[in-house]
Amino acid sequence: MYFLSGWPKRLLCPLGSLAEAPCHVQSDPQRTFFAVLAPARLSIWYSRPSVLIVTYKEPAKSSSQFGSYKEAEWRPDSTMIAVSTANGYILFFHITSTRGDKYLYEPVYPKGSPQMKGTPHFKEEQCAPALNLEMKKILDLQSPIMSLQSVLEDLLVATSDGLLHLIHWEGMTNGRKAINLCTVPFSVDLQSSRVGSFLGFADVHIRDMEYCATLDGFAVVFNDGKVGFITPVSSRFTAELHGVWPQDVVDGTCVAVNNKYRLMAFGCASGSVQVYTIDNTTGAMLLSHKLELTAKQYPDIWNKTGAVKLVRWSPDNSVVIVTWEYGGLSLWSVFGAQLICTLGGDFAYRSDGTKKDPLKINSMSWGAEGYHLWVISGFGSQNTEIESDPNSIGKQPGILLFQFIKSVLTVNPCMSNQEQVLLQGEDRLYLNCGEASQTQNPRSSSAHSEHKPSQEKNSFADGGLESQGLSTLLGHRHWHVVQISSTYLESNWPIRFSAIDKLGQNIAVVGKFGFAHYSLLTKKWKLFGNITQEQSMIVTGGLAWWKDFIVLACYNINDRQEELRVYLRTSNLDNAFAHVTKAQAETLLLSVFRDMVIVFRADCSICLYSIERKSDGPNTTAGIQVLQEVSMSRYIPHPFLVVSVTLTSVSTENGITLKMPQQARDAESIMLNLAGQLIMMQRDRSGPQIREKDSNQRKLLPFCPPVVLAQSVENVWTTCRANKQKRHLLEALWLSCGGAGMKVWLPLFPRDHRKPHSFLSQRIMLPFHINIYPLAVLFEDALVLGAVNDTLLYDSLYTRNSAREQLEMLFPFCVVERTSQIYLHHILRQLLVRNLGEQALLLAQSCSTLPYFPHVLELMLHEVLEEEATSREPIPDPLLPTVAKFITEFPLFLQTVVHCARKTEYALWNYLFAAVGNPKDLFEECLMAQDLDTAASYLIILQNMEVPAVSRQHATLLFNTALEQGKWDLCRHMIRFLKAIGSGESETPPSTPTAQEPSSSGGFEFFRNRSISLSQSAENVPASKFSLQKTLSMPSGPSGKRWSKDSDCAENMYIDMMLWRHARRLLEEVRLKDLGCFAAQLGFELISWLCKERTRAARVDNFVIALKRLHRDFLWPLPIIPASSISSPFKNGKFRTVGEQLLKSQSADPFLNLEIDAGISNVQRSRSWLNNIGPAHHEIDTASSHGPQMQDAFLSPLSNKGDECSIGSATDLTESSSMVDGDWTVVDENFSTLSLTQSELEHISMELASKGPHKSQVQLRYLLHIFLEAGCLDWCIVIGLILRESSVINQILVIIQSSEVNGEMLQNIKTGLHAVDRWASTDCPGYKPFLNIIKPQLQKLNEITEEQVQPEAFQPITVGKTPEQSSPRVEESRGSSGHGSIPQSEVGGSSMVSRKEEDTAGAEEEESFQDGTYDCSVS
């Protein structure tokens, strides 16, 4: 509603002595001038600029006769001031303007500037006028004056002898006698007035009073603390008065009256403010609400504020400000929502935590439109050292100006059908909608930089103009600030109304005269070209946007005529382009609904107009026609009491019961907020519904008599949009009720369009509380938007003992921040309380797609649980079981319950799970639903609620499932959890992983924890060599520590058993890829385990099945025989090296450091090409591991795309093109460097195509390395077959020959290879060529098996030198190369292992694998 902004300003009073310090401030009725009283002087200040105009100083002689000045009151036309003095005198001062056009301050413009052109009223607006003050009359009332009040043309004065004087402004009593209070009868209500008791005490007098025009009487506070309301029995003030009083107030101190809402706020000695209203029927005073600080919000100060000193309603009657005896300010909305209080937070404490003295206030008065509060501060009244230290400005009593920003709803309530929040300050607007363009607007930010801190400086940048989406309205905490055009402000300050269009792209503002509008797209203001047109119109009833038009009601000064005008935004701002309709009476309120304008006038009538777009010729205008007039004078006692009027599509029937469906759409009801009472008038459908066939315009139905929907209503929100999915929210009516929170009038729909029950009402009013002051409602998104004051302390910039107490020290800097709140859980809960579970379910299902819906369910469960579980008394009808049952209707049930439990204290868990079910059952449900993260959360609850055996049992279940699904993060947590249970560390439950990392990803995930440097791309490789290095380091964290020295502990044994069992299962199911991931992720000692299991689980039972499964798991294509291979030129060794080189570099092995020897000319020529081959991407790619189906891959030429091109290798296949459509791309530009024929190319492509993805190759070699270390030779053979590298087979033969190998294993290898041979002959001829190559080795194997008589156990061995066996035919064709004995194409298999084994013994291998890094290189 209202928010403090920045620091208060200080106005310096020209002080001679302490005796002349100001003590009272009173604004004139127009709030342009302020009368400031000191004990012996009267000063007049101007509001903008805030300057002193004139001071009258009382001579010492008469000052001692009159006594010091106490209070001032202005005549309604601001031509006189009455000042009361301590000794019972009233002094009347006349204010006259000095001769001619003399001004105190005049702006000076450079010559030729546009402002110099004679604008009418220019001088008065710009400068403070020069005034004279002269005392005209002195009236002696002979007893001290307690209160002065201007009532119409008279001045009402209450004196301490119990009399009420009615004095004419000319200073005469007009011969009327003063009214003695003892003669006024008082009663509880007006009906029993004849037997009213009299005050009956000699010393009763009025202490404070204020006149209320809309109640035609005045609220009074007596000196004994009683309060009352005195009203004349007849129309004029005569001797016959009558009073009512409430029985229960006995400590009243002061009073303020709100004319718009007919409220009387009585300040009490207890520190609270009691707000009363008058009952229309009986005339009794009814307590509306109280304004009081609660012990919950202000525990240390709530009852130590002292008595209420002053209460002041704002000029627009929407907020009230209260101050207490011991200091402090608080601001409340009209029905008691607290907005600001300076007794807590940064206002009360310095940044170092010490307490400040609260600001004491002697007097205060609101400035124009409520943008300023003029305050006479009381610090230093006890302080006497002011004379000695003239520099201490801080302690001097002076005038402070607090600056406010207010919501546009306070003055232009037609904005309530919009979803934007718009705040208006005196020279700028704050919007919550995103800025149209992406750039920051430098002008608007620099213009307000001196007021706003850096965090508010930047304008918004949000795209998306078409729809004001959620992200735009919620985007961030800061506002988009629009500086109001200074040209317009100069002559039209203050801004009275503002409005924004539906899309949040255009704003219009109304000042004293005329209006101006601004586009957020162009960042330009549009003002009247002709200033006389601007100055001749006064907007009276607010303004609204309709499509591209601005609709406003104004008074035309020249024609003295009330008008309704429509201006087009895109045309020039000129009356020539406006559509003008004359109106009968002054318009007080205006609102737009669909294509209708609704207007409320001063004669209490409501008029409906239709508005339509007209394009006549070049000009587009809007046409307005009167549709219907409704007189409301029977129901409205005073037109000023109507706060807002709007048309809505809300009606008591919700569209199902209506006879014709379109009636639901046209069900226009008028909603009228009459002094806080929400009144609805619906169309009367009881009469005959005649449809005239020929007439186009519909016959508008009359309205029914009004019905009161709610009390204490501050704002109303509805929308005219429709959405079948969210009917509940869009057809509801939202009310803001101040301290009572919010209410929603919700439609109830029968399920599945059944006929509604006759006994069920079709709408229901549900109250709910939210923590923010609502300024806008997002209907579909179930959100309330608001704003909140935040404070920043800058006192650390000043030293504590500096003589100058700066304002920056005393007050924090105030900023306004945007805020929002979910309200859906409140509504669901209210429906469940009323046994409307079916409606709650319909509503919840319509909102289940909202991103914060899980949070809504959690909040509802949490709030009900906290309330019921902590309740002192037993609850007769607990809601928690109902809420629990309701939440089970949603798939998020399990998460909601566990999240709620984890955020609640342990003591309430039993109560919660008694309602939602046993956590063991819920845990099992999670496992069945495969929701492991939630199950892990339940485990923590089980651990706290059950004995360790139960939680271990459930943890084991979860651990096994997580292993099965490859959720490695969770596995690591579970290992830690199980160890904690075992070692008694159950006090520290494991943290549940919040987000799962993508498990089962392709490269064994050990790459995730280890640093990998692959210098593979062609750019960073020197032309002479290919360097491929991989660095391995063990994962840190719980998985690393898991193999600690206490492995003899039973708990570790238990965990190891589970891990071994899982590894055994993976091997039995030939899931090598999963085994690799599992070992790498959990730091499982694969080699030592394989050594143990060599003859059991680690045997290969069926070579053919194993081979097929590996092909599938690693996406490795089965080899095929090319058609042209029969006559391939590669048969003769001429091109052999090129093919092998090509393959070698393509299967670039991360364990190699490969140098290409420059001996062979063909290689020489193709060097540049070869260097471009090889993996170009480094990411570990998850997609390649998911598709088990095999693809045949082919090379297809691609058109020339660039100058630096590489051949598409297997890496490109997996990592840059999709795995599913396995067509490879290759660029044919550089082929000119290789003079190869078509058939040769085909052969190369066949060899390339028979390779799998690069990553699979890395993984297979890694596994090969592991199996070799562990001595599982049968697995090595299988992997050697897949990689089709005879060197692997050679190496295994070397191992078999140089050591004693288990005969069973040899036998197994032999039978397995025979089975593969048979399978290749029948099903997969592509394997035949390779099997033929290794035929000699197989024969050797046969010989060995026959030789071996007594098999011995295998010992891990180290091979001293590189194996020498090789196929002679291949060797001849090699030429000179690095390791002459091994074909370069097969180095991948053997060299790594051989080098490795030279360096480390088998037993040490695991150690180096954990701690250090190793590079294997072949030079």
Q: How many angstroms from the chain centroid is the CA of residue 892?
A: 22
- Give per-residue pLDDT as tens, 1010-1025: 333 333 333 333 333 3
Give the sign of the dihedral formed by CA 191, CA 197, CA 202, CA 203.
negative
Give the sign of the dihedral formed by CA 1243, CA 1248, CA 1252, CA 1256.
positive
**What are 26's strand-pairing partners?**
35
pLDDT band at 1118 (very low <50, low <70, confident <90, very high): confident
> Are the C-beta atoms of residues 601 and 588 closer than 8 Å to each other?
yes
pLDDT at 1204: 40
Q: Per-residue pLDDT averaged across 1162-1185, rounded?
A: 38
**In angstroms, rounded to a whole number, what is the distance separating the alpha carbons of residues 207 and 223?**
5
Q: Which residues contact 510 (CB under 8 A, 6 or more apart)?
A: 495, 496, 497, 498, 539, 542, 543, 552
DSSP per residue over 240-300, as a string? -EEEE--TT---EEEEEEETTTTEEEEEETTS-EEEEEE-TTT--EEEEEEE---TTT-TT
pLDDT at 194: 54
Strands 197-198 and 206-212: unpaired
**In angstroms, rounded to a whole number, what is the distance separating the alpha carbons of residues 700 and 684?**
10
**In angstroms, rounded to a whole number, what is the distance separating the alpha carbons of residues 63 and 86?**
10
Burial class (CB in 10 A: 0-12, 13-18, 19+), 1138: buried
> Are the C-beta atoms of residues 54 and 34 closer than 8 Å to each other?
no
Structure token pair of residue 1016: 């593979």
pLDDT band at 1369 (very low <50, low <70, confident <90, very high): very low
- Give per-residue pLDDT as tens, 957-967: 999 999 989 89
Instruction: Fill in the DSSP letter of residue 959.
Output: H
Q: Per-residue pLDDT averaged across 167-191, rounded?
A: 78
- Give per-residue pLDDT as tens, 308-320: 999 999 999 999 9
Alpha helices in 1114-1208 (DSSP H): 1136-1146, 1161-1165, 1167-1171, 1183-1186
Burial class (CB in 10 A: 0-12, 13-18, 19+), 925: middle
Secondary structure of 210-225 in HEC code, one letter for each residue: EEECCCCEEEEEECCC
**In angstroms, rounded to a whole number, what is the distance separating the alpha carbons of residues 187 and 245?**
6
- Give per-residue pLDDT as tens, 135-178: 988 988 889 999 999 887 889 999 998 888 888 887 676 666 78
- Give per-residue pLDDT as tens, 368-421: 999 999 999 876 434 333 333 444 444 566 899 999 999 999 999 887 777 889
User: Half-sphere exposure of residue 857, counting CA atoms within 13 Å on the CB side?
Assistant: 30
Range of 436-445, 844-853, 973-982, 1167-1176 with top mean pLDDT? 844-853
pLDDT at 1332: 87
Find where tokens 């000119």 sit.
1232
Which has the minimum average pLDDT: 275-279, 658-662, 676-680, 1171-1175?
1171-1175
User: Half-sphere exposure of residue 1365, counting CA atoms within 13 Å on the CB side?
Assistant: 18
Question: Helices 1254-1270 & 1072-1082, crossing angle to 10 degrees?
Answer: 80
> Are the C-beta atoms of residues 594 and 576 closer than 8 Å to each other?
no
pLDDT band at 470 (very low <50, low <70, confident <90, very high): low
**In angstroms, rounded to a whole number, what is the distance separating the alpha carbons of residues 644 and 716?**
9
> Of the candidates 1075, 1211, 1152, which has an alpha carbon nearest to the alpha carbon of residue 1385?
1152
pLDDT band at 296 (very low <50, low <70, confident <90, very high): confident
Q: Per-residue pLDDT averaged across 1385-1395, rounded?
A: 39
Which has the minimum average pLDDT: 282-291, 298-307, 1392-1401?
1392-1401
Find where tokens 């809300």 sit.
650
**In angstroms, rounded to a whole number, what is the distance separating the alpha carbons of residues 503 and 521?**
11
pLDDT band at 196 (very low <50, low <70, confident <90, very high): low
pLDDT at 563: 95
Q: How many angstroms from the chain centroid is the CA of residue 178?
A: 63
Q: Which residues contact 653 (CB under 8 A, 6 or more apart)?
A: 664, 667, 762
pLDDT at 691: 52
Q: Is the pLDDT of residue 1063 over 60?
A: yes
Q: Which long-range contacts (CB under 8 A, 24 or more apart) does 581-588 make?
A: 581/609, 581/624, 583/553, 583/607, 586/540, 586/541, 586/555, 586/562, 587/540, 587/541, 587/553, 587/562, 588/540, 588/541, 588/639, 588/640, 588/642
pLDDT at 362: 92
Q: Per-residue pLDDT averaged across 883-904, rounded?
A: 94
pLDDT at 620: 86
Which has the minimum average pLDDT: 238-242, 701-705, 723-727?
238-242
Instruction: Fill in the DSSP letter of residue 748.
Output: -
Q: Is the pLDDT of residue 1037 over 90?
A: no
pLDDT at 153: 82
- Give per-residue pLDDT as tens, 430-441: 998 754 433 333
H or E element at residue 362: strand 361-366
- Give per-residue pLDDT as tens, 1249-1258: 778 888 999 9
**In angstroms, rounded to a whole number, what is the distance separating the alpha carbons of residues 1220 and 1190?**
9
- Give per-residue pLDDT as tens, 1190-1232: 445 444 444 444 344 333 333 333 333 333 343 444 444 444 4
Q: Is the pLDDT of residue 451 over 90?
A: no
What is the three-class DSSP state of 333? Answer: strand
Structure token pair of residue 246: 């409430």
**In angstroms, rounded to a whole number, what is the distance separating the alpha carbons of residues 1120 and 926?**
47
Amino acid at 693: K
Structure token pair of residue 530: 């002709």
pLDDT at 1095: 82
Q: Per-residue pLDDT averaged across 808-824, rounded?
A: 90
Q: Which residues contact 241 (CB under 8 A, 6 or more apart)?
A: 179, 184, 230, 231, 232, 233
> Of the candidates 637, 633, 645, which has an alpha carbon nearest to the alpha carbon of residue 679?
645
- Give per-residue pLDDT as tens, 503-551: 889 999 999 999 999 999 999 999 999 999 999 999 998 899 999 999 9
pLDDT band at 1416 (very low <50, low <70, confident <90, very high): very low
Q: Per-residue pLDDT averaged across 1381-1392, rounded?
A: 39
pLDDT at 274: 96
* Mean residue pLDDT across the chain: 77
pLDDT at 1020: 39
pLDDT band at 1289 (very low <50, low <70, confident <90, very high): confident
pLDDT band at 1328 (very low <50, low <70, confident <90, very high): confident
pLDDT at 174: 60
> Are the C-beta atoms of residues 63 and 101 closer than 8 Å to each other?
no
pLDDT at 710: 95
pLDDT at 1044: 44
> Are the C-beta atoms of residues 965 and 930 closer than 8 Å to each other?
yes
pLDDT band at 1335 (very low <50, low <70, confident <90, very high): confident
Structure token pair of residue 1216: 């840059």
Q: Is the pLDDT of residue 21 over 80?
A: yes
- Give per-residue pLDDT as tens, 659-706: 444 544 566 799 999 999 999 999 887 766 555 444 445 567 888 899
What is the three-class DSSP state of 458? Answer: coil
**In angstroms, rounded to a whole number, what is the distance separating the alpha carbons of residues 481 and 523?**
12
- Give per-residue pLDDT as tens, 743-759: 999 998 877 666 666 66
**What are 266's strand-pairing partners?**
255, 274
Range of 872-876, 909-913, 1284-1288 with top mean pLDDT? 909-913
Range of 245-249, 765-769, 1177-1181, 1231-1235 with top mean pLDDT? 765-769
CB 1168: neighbour CB atoms within 10 A?
11
**In angstroms, rounded to a whole number, what is the distance separating the alpha carbons of residues 69 and 20?**
11
- Give per-residue pLDDT as tens, 328-379: 999 999 999 999 999 988 888 888 888 888 889 999 999 999 999 999 987 6
- Residue 50 has phi, psi (to 5 degrees) of -80, 90
Burial class (CB in 10 A: 0-12, 13-18, 19+), 1242: middle
> Of the candidates 479, 389, 465, which has an alpha carbon nearest to the alpha carbon of residue 429?
479
Q: Per-residue pLDDT averaged across 1149-1169, rounded?
A: 36
Structure token pair of residue 590: 């205006």
First to last CA, the chain: 79
- Give per-residue pLDDT as tens, 588-606: 999 999 899 999 999 999 9
CB 821: neighbour CB atoms within 10 A?
14
Q: Is the pLDDT of residue 1404 over 50?
A: no
Amino acid at 681: M
> Of the candidates 15, 46, 10, 42, which has an alpha carbon nearest to the alpha carbon of residue 31?
46
Cis geometry, peptide bond prior to residue 14 (ω within 30 degrees of 0)? no
